[in-house]
Structure 1
Amino acid sequence: MTLKARLQQKEILVAPGVYDGLTASLAEHAGFEALYLSGAAVAYTRLGRPDIGLSTASEMADTMTLIADRTALPVIIDADTGFGNALNAQR
């Protein structure tokens, strides 16, 4: 079933937050149907920084690649600020 089809069902879809291949594998093994990757998770785990818009689209894509290599579950991704604010230019 596609993520779109699953979201259209009446039952609530719980998508736990993951931040790497291991957490994605654990969530899949626990029986979840979908996963969630947030900008905050990428900022905390890859940069060791708070979620203040410093993560880049490349860092998000790299993290998603690691997750996709470990699970076939669909992932809902928070695109955060769109990756084009002044803080990214400064970084």
Structure 2
Amino acid sequence: MAKLLNLQEWANSIYSTPPSLSTLRRWVREGRIYPAPELHGKEYKLMPDSIYVDPSKKNLRLKPKHRKLPATGTLLERLRHDEKASTLRR
């Protein structure tokens, strides 16, 4: 298991000019550091390989490569071809 670092040690290892401790604490509260640091007493401890995640970036989620179409066709295809939809069970 890797040795846990506090916020200041982590920032010194990642950034040439690290942000202030208050900024680092705000990032933790806002969930901008992954994996999330743990509070040990009065200070946060995190893994050395933790990264900063910018929440304003849209491509954080993995996109599926290919979605399989339903066997009966999509709703738009059924409407175009005037096919009846199967009845709903209640």
TM-score bucket (shorter structure): under 0.3
Point out the structure with max Rg over C-alpha: 2
Q: How does the TM-score come out when normalised to structure 2?
A: 0.25
Q: How does the TM-score come out when normalised to structure 1?
A: 0.25
Larger RCO (CA within 8 A; separation ≥ 6): 1
More strand by share: 2
More helix by share: 1
